[in-house]
């Protein structure tokens, strides 16, 4: 899927004429838009939220990957236990000086014809959105304030 810039401030696709501060832009694939909005509502700032599908070989096996990269290093306890398949990871953006965190889902999916690969990716996203909908925005923001002030 093609990545686009999405503005979390005004909830629109950021074009070249977009007037908001570029720090409010998140690189996304369109199917991750609701995840970005929900994470932003929880007070968690993202840099990117993308989904990838890669055909592993000439068979019907595909590697599905969904990735959300945060602007900061967040503690895993903020979102509590993650749904199956979702994992926290940390990465450095400045030779070990600046660390950030992210969430990743990976799956090897064997297409059998029952559902398309796109349907499978969208189902994973919907399940994750449902998980996020059970998080209390005020509680998460309070935890963020306590942990990072």
7-62 residue pLDDT tens = 999 999 998 899 999 999 999 999 999 999 999 999 999 999 999 999 887 778 99
55-89 residue pLDDT tens = 887 778 999 999 999 999 998 889 988 999 999 99
87-106 residue pLDDT tens = 999 988 878 788 899 999 99
In terms of residue numbers, what domain contains 71? 4-148
Total domain count, the chain: 1
Pairing of strands 12-13, 25-28: unpaired
pTM: 0.90
Whole-number pLDDT of residue 16: 87
Distance CA 96, CA 134 (A): 34
Whole-number pLDDT of residue 38: 96
CA-based max dimension of the chain? 51
User: Measuring CA to CA, how many Å separate 54 from each of 51, 84, 89, 106?
Assistant: 10, 21, 21, 11
96-143 residue pLDDT tens = 788 899 999 999 999 888 899 999 999 999 999 999 999 999 999 998
């Amino acid at each position: 899927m093609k990545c686009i810039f999405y503005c979390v401030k005004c909830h629109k696709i950021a074009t070249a004429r977009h007037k908001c501060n570029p720090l409010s832009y998140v690189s996304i694939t369109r199917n991750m838009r609701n995840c970005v909005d929900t994470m932003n509502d929880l007070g968690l700032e993202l840099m990117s939220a993308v989904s990838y599908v890669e055909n592993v070989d000439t068979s019907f096996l595909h590697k599905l990957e969904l990735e959300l990269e945060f602007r900061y290093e967040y503690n895993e306890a903020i979102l509590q236990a993650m749904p199956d398949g979702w994992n926290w990871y940390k990465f450095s953006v400045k030779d070990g000086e600046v660390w950030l965190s992210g969430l990743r889902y990976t799956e090897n999916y064997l297409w059998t014809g029952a559902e398309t690969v796109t349907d499978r990716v969208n189902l994973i996203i919907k399940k994750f959105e449902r998980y996020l909908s059970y998080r209390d925005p005020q509680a998460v923001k309070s935890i963020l304030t306590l942990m990072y002030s």
